Amino acid sequence: MQMEKIRMVIPARGGSKGLKNKHLQIIKNKPLIFWTIDQFIDAFQDDVEIYISTDCNKIIDLCLKKYNNIKILKRKPSLANDTSSTEEVLKDIASDWYKDLSEDQFVIYASACEINRSKKYLLQAVESLSEDKSIDTFMYGEKSHKHLWENWHREPVLMKDWMKIYSPRQSQESNFLIEHSGLILITKLKYWLDGKRFGGKTLIKELDESYRHIDIHNAIDLKIANSILN
């Protein structure tokens, strides 16, 4: 995929039970929400058009005060509660973007909670799509627990019954990868319009063994993140 101006969204709901005002929490001298914004600007410069989806005026004010080139999507109250799914939020965004984007346009989703993504991983994602024009979706994955994929098929298949056979001590030969769409997910707008996070021919690229998550969801994660980054 030739890198052109591409839209990306960072969901940042104001309410969080695990960590109050999560996206405003300071990690190594800057708010959590800034980490993801800065990572994508550093990697793609003006080739990425960044949108923040939020219901929180504090997040809006903070972001607009620092960044001149990001856009705000004010989230509906019905999509700002604990039961709202990422898929519902993306579908609502896609419905608005579809006014001036084709359904086959590539779009990016990134979680604001993941702050250890490097420029290398972001650029690698775009390069992977450039190498295979038939790919509809790109994301990273790793050998672990949670969502497991059978990727010896032509297209990866989610193992819905993985709990019946999963062992946490997987061998090096294991073909099971969990999807890690929060780091970066590149897919086509039509899947969001259909209420899916992604779809079509999906490439899940295994992360390097050296990669370590810094994924902020509670106060303990916050302390760990500050310790690691310092």
- CA 203 – CA 125 distance, rounded (Å): 10
Q: How far is CA 65 from CA 39, 110, 129, 218, in A?
A: 18, 21, 34, 26
Assess if residue 221 is contained within a domain: yes
Q: What per-residue confidence (pLDDT) applies to 123?
A: 94
Assess if residue 162 is contained within a domain: yes
Assess if residue 10 is contained within a domain: yes
Q: What per-residue confidence (pLDDT) applies to 101?
A: 95
User: What average pLDDT does the segment 135-160 reach?
Assistant: 64
Domain count of the chain? 1
Assess if residue 130 is contained within a domain: yes
What does the pLDDT look like over 5-16, one tens digit per residue?
Answer: 899 999 998 877
67 contacts: CB under 8 Å, gap ≥ 6: 37, 50
Owning domain of residue 183: 6-229
User: What average pLDDT does the segment 86-109 reach?
Assistant: 95
Amino acid letter, residue 55: D
| CATH code of the domain covering residue 206 | 3.90.550.10
Assess if residue 172 is contained within a domain: yes
Q: Are 17 and 117 in contact (CB under 8 A)?
A: no
Assess if residue 1 is contained within a domain: no
What does the pLDDT look like over 175-185, one tens digit per residue?
Answer: 566 778 899 99
What does the pLDDT look like over 30-75, one tens digit per residue?
Answer: 999 999 999 999 999 989 999 999 999 999 999 999 999 999 999 9
Assess if residue 12 is contained within a domain: yes
